[in-house]
A and B are shown apart, each in its own frame.
Chain A
Amino acid sequence: MMDKLITGLQGSKYAQAALLALFVALTCAWVFLMDKSVVAFLLLLSSLLLLHYTSFPTKIKWAVGGVMLLLVVPFATSGGASHEAYMEVATQCGIFIAMALGLNVVVGFAGLLDLGFVAFFAVGAYTYAIFSTPQATEFMSGGWLPLTGSYFWLFIFIGGFIASLFGILLGLPVLRVKGDYLAIVTLGFGEITRIIFNNLDKPVNITNGALGISSIQAPNLFGYHFTFPHQFYFIVIAILALVILCVKRLEHSRLGRSWKAIRDNEIAAQSSGIPLIRTKLTAFAVGASFSGMMGVVFAAKQTFVDPTSFTYLESITILVMVLLGGMGSVPGVILGACVITLLNLQVLTEITLWLNQLTMQGIIKVPHALSPSKMQRFIFGAVLILFAIFRPNGLIAARNRKVDEGRLRAANAPVSAKLRDPSGHGEGGSS
């Protein structure tokens, strides 16, 4: 009965569309009417996952997904007082998705285990923070400082660019080691970056040290100021669209193949003419740039940065997103980032709240030290172990792109099947 239903559904696009619409409508109504419901919000977001599994053409899926994110989600959450809270969560999800996609280029495509990835996020965040506050005047002179919020848009790209430069600088020494050593060295460099930001207040005050940089300018578009989460939400969606487009284009390109070739077999890749260091550095640079762009957004959204936001636990969190979602799988990594962010921000805090209530009512007694939001590391560890055992390829395993054999065969038909001189030197040989 159930099987029949499922096969029936797989066959009919109308049934899929109807079901999806119904699901979206219900969860929307629920989110809209309830004051704040984690479950309803999760279900609303999971309609995007349903969309992923429908059998519509890719273009339609993207269009529907875009409408969902740009119209449906902001509208549905606008019903109650928790609008900003919902939007904050969604914005954070978006920031982490972009970072996880960046790390996925490095770990999932190129196979380079990087445990210090948050460093690039920090570089992006500090780039904007320093120049959009009087901080810059501490070590530079110029009447043009500090920059106003209308430079934010430019800084998204400058932040990405500086982060990728940083990725290359970091990569040059680091990429000489492989495997486990690389993991350790990147872990070290990630921490060093944070410590440098922490101490770069003397001799010249560049980062304002442990005090951090505050009053970062809000983005400004023709006089319109972005200060609330529901405004940042749209900035994040726009950058995310750009990031996904980039990743999608790279994934099956000459460069993407080179990354995967290096991941699968370094020696064979080199013998096929793929330059090792340069290709790895591009992976570092591309991954870092996504992180750097989101770092700029993060700085503007928080209006404050300090080194404590960029600890190695953040790097591990991003890595867990990639591993959980599925290394090398773009939809997987997006899902992984959402799951972990929501787990961190919503589920764990909700459970903690609930347990606290129970404790106050005297029903049960949970020691403070055992509150779920404090067990983040434990839960990550457990998730990683469980996935390594039961689902090593992640939630949505990476899939290779299949080409249409019929089309290739048809295109090939007019030409004779005989191979034409693969040596590239016309003279001689083919007698």
Chain B
Amino acid sequence: MTILKVAGLVKRFGGVVGMNGVDYAFPQGAISAIIGPNGSGKTTFFNLVSGIYTPDEGNIELEGKSIVKLKPDRIARLGIARTFQNIRLFGKMTVLENVLCGMHLQLKAGLFGTLLHLPFVKREEAGAALEAYRLLEYVGLAEFLNEQADSLPYGAQRRLEIARAMASKPKVLLLDEPAAGMNPRETLELIELIKRIQKETSLTILLIEHDMRLVMGLAERIMVLDYGTKIAEGTPDEIRANPKVIEAYLGKSAVAKG
């Protein structure tokens, strides 16, 4: 079953075409990867899906309903959460508060409820802190809960982004290069974490990654982008054997030689 579908997606930046007519349907509950050389439009794709960019043409559907032209917060409300390639934490807040911000949509307290200190607000806050703590435990950051987010080591910041994204209880989770800057041990831990998330929840995960070990180990389906166009799609084995993909990554000569 398809949960997220894009059709004829085009995004231009002045003269540069960031996304040039991409069609794809992401199956529900699976891990799909998006790969491609640098500047091929992977992050642009996530920005379009999460509403940070508005497509110039084409359509994006979540569970059959178009989400084109919606603001990012509306799209988050509909169930798409994401992490960022260039980490975007709430740097001056604590690790726990970052996750609490991720829970924004789960919580109800408004201005007047807060000012009047209504009992439901107190209960909600206590419950939220506990749930945020569990999420931190889940990604292995519980010991850092009171640290300021921008003081964390790099790998931990990436995991915190995942925890924050999961806090909104999304249907679709977009991970943009979650292993970037991680050492091999951290990468292995990350693979375990993503596998565990997928096994224990019905979450659909879209993953951008350059680390092929990670991609091949995790993804059920892969979409390959080059210059903003989809040049291939299939299972990891199909992608590995696809000459177009090898060409995009290594250049024409490599294919000729091979």
Q: Which residues of A are at the interface with B, using a C-beta cutoff of 8 A?
A: 246, 249-250, 253-258, 260-261, 263-265, 267-276, 282, 286, 328, 398, 400-403, 405, 408-409, 411-412, 415, 417-419, 421-425, 427-431
B84 near A: Cβ within 8 Å?
A: yes
Interface centre among A250, A400, A405, A409 (most CB of B within 10 A): A400
Contacts of A274 in B (CB 8 A): 73, 101, 104
* Alpha-carbon gap, A32 to B156, bound state (A): 58
| Contacting residue for B93 out of A253, A260, A271, A408, CB 8 A | A260
In residues 139-186 of chain B, which contact A (Cβ within 8 Å)?
A: 142, 145-146, 148, 164-171
Contact among B101, B133, B165 for A261, CB-based, below 8 A: B101
Q: How many A-B residue pairs have CB under 8 A?
A: 170
Q: Which of A254, A408, A429 contacts B107 (CB 8 A)?
A: A254
- Give every chain A residue within 8 A of B138 (Cβ-Cβ): 417, 419
Contact B201 A422 (CB under 8 A): yes
Smallest CB–CB gap between B45 and chain A, Å? Answer: 15
Contact of B201 among A258, A275, A328, A421 (CB under 8 A): A421
Please determine whether B168 and A405 come into contact, CB atoms closer than 8 angstroms: no
Say which residue of A261, A328, A428 sits within 8 Å of B90 (CB atoms).
A261
B117: Cβ under 8 A from any A Cβ: yes
The 5 closest A-B pairs by CB, nearest first: A429-B202, A273-B76, A268-B88, A264-B90, A270-B72
With CB as the reference atom, state the residue of chain A lying closest to B82: A271
Cross-chain contact A253 with B125 (CB below 8 angstroms): yes
> Scoring B residues 96 to 113 as 1 if CB is less than 8 Å from chain A, else 0, what string do you get?
110011101101011100
Closest B residue by C-beta to A263: B92
Chain A residues near B142: list those with CB within 8 A.
405, 409
Residues of B within 8 A of A (CB): 29, 50-52, 71-73, 76-77, 81-82, 84, 88-94, 96-97, 100-102, 104-105, 107, 109-111, 114-115, 117, 121, 125, 129-130, 133-135, 137-138, 142, 145-146, 148, 164-171, 197, 199-203
Extra 11 A-B pairs, beta carbons < 8 Å, given A255-B109, A400-B94, A419-B201: A250-B111, A255-B111, A271-B76, A272-B165, A398-B92, A400-B93, A405-B145, A408-B130, A412-B130, A419-B135, A422-B166
Instruction: State how many angstroms separate the Cβ of B141 from the closest Cβ of chain A.
Output: 12
| Interchain CA distance A427-B29 in the complex, whole Å | 11
The residue on A at minimum CB distance from B204 is A423
Contact across chains for B73 and A264 when beta carbons are under 8 A apart: no
Q: Which residues of A contact B81 (CB under 8 A)?
A: 271-272
A265, chain B: closest CB distance, angstroms: 5
B146 close to A423 (CB less than 8 A)? no
Question: What is the CB-to-nearest-CB distance from B256 to chain A, in angstroms, rounded to a whole number?
Answer: 43
A-B contacts, 6 of them at CB < 8 A, read A253-B114, A276-B71, A403-B145, A419-B201, A423-B202, A429-B29
Q: Provide the bound-state CA to CA distance between A249 and B110, in Å.
A: 12
- Residues of B close to A272: CB separation below 8 A: 73, 76, 81, 101-102, 104-105, 164-165, 167-168
Nearest B residue to A258 via CB reads B104
Question: What residues of chain B lie closer than 8 Å to A246, measured between beta carbons?
Answer: 115
Whether A423 lies near B203 (C-beta < 8 A) is: yes
**Contact (Cβ within 8 A) A264 B91:** yes
Q: How far is the CB of B50 from chain A (nearest CB, A)?
A: 6
- CB-CB under 8 A from A424, the residues of chain B are 169
Question: Taking A246-B115, A250-B115, A254-B109 as contacts, is the C-beta distance between A270 and B201 under 8 angstroms?
Answer: no
Q: Which chain B positions have C-beta within 8 A of A409? A: 133, 142
**Which of B71, B137, B166, B170 contacts A275 (CB under 8 A)?**
B71
**How close is A416's CB to chain B, nearest CB, in angstroms?**
10
Question: Is there an interface contact between A254 and B104, defined as CB atoms closer than 8 Å?
Answer: yes
Question: Do residues A403 and B171 form an inter-chain contact, with CB atoms below 8 A?
Answer: no
Is A267 a contact of B52 with CB atoms below 8 Å? yes
In the complex with contacts A271-B76, A423-B171, A412-B133 CB distance below 8 A: yes
Distance in Å: Cβ of B210 to nearest Cβ of chain A? 22
A419 / chain B contacts, CB cutoff of 8 Å: 134-135, 138, 197, 200-201
> Which one of B52, B134, B166 contacts A271 once the chains associate, using CB atoms below 8 Å?
B52
Assess the A253–B71 pair: CB atoms within 8 A: no
Distance, CA A263 to CA B89, complexed state (A): 11
- With a 10 A CB-CB cut-off, give which of A264, A412, A421 has the most chain B CB atoms: A264
Q: Are B90 and A255 in contact (CB under 8 A)?
A: no
Selected contact of A273 from candidates B77, B114, B145, B203, CB within 8 Å: B77
Given the complex of chains A and B, what is the CA–CA distance between A405 and B166 in angstroms?
21
Q: Could you say which residues of chain A place their CB within 8 Å of the CB of B90?
A: 260-261, 264-265, 268-269
Q: How far is the CA of A260 from the CA of B89 in the complex (A)?
A: 11
**Alpha-carbon distance A424/B105, docked complex (angstroms):** 12
Residues of A within 8 A of B129 (CB): 403, 408
CB-based contact B104/A273 at 8 Å: yes
Chain A hits for B89, CB < 8 A: 264-265, 268
Evaluate contact between B101 and A412: CB separation under 8 angstroms: no
List the B side residues contacting A408 at CB < 8 Å: 129-130, 133, 145
- Taking the closest CB of chain A, its distance from the CB of B47, in whole angstroms, is 9
Closest Cβ of chain A to B150, distance in Å, is 9
Residue of B nearest to A400 (CB): B94
For the complex formed, measure the closest distance between the CB of A404 and the CB atoms of chain B, giving whole angstroms.
9
Closest A residue to B98 using CB positions: A261
B97-A400 in contact (CB<8A): yes
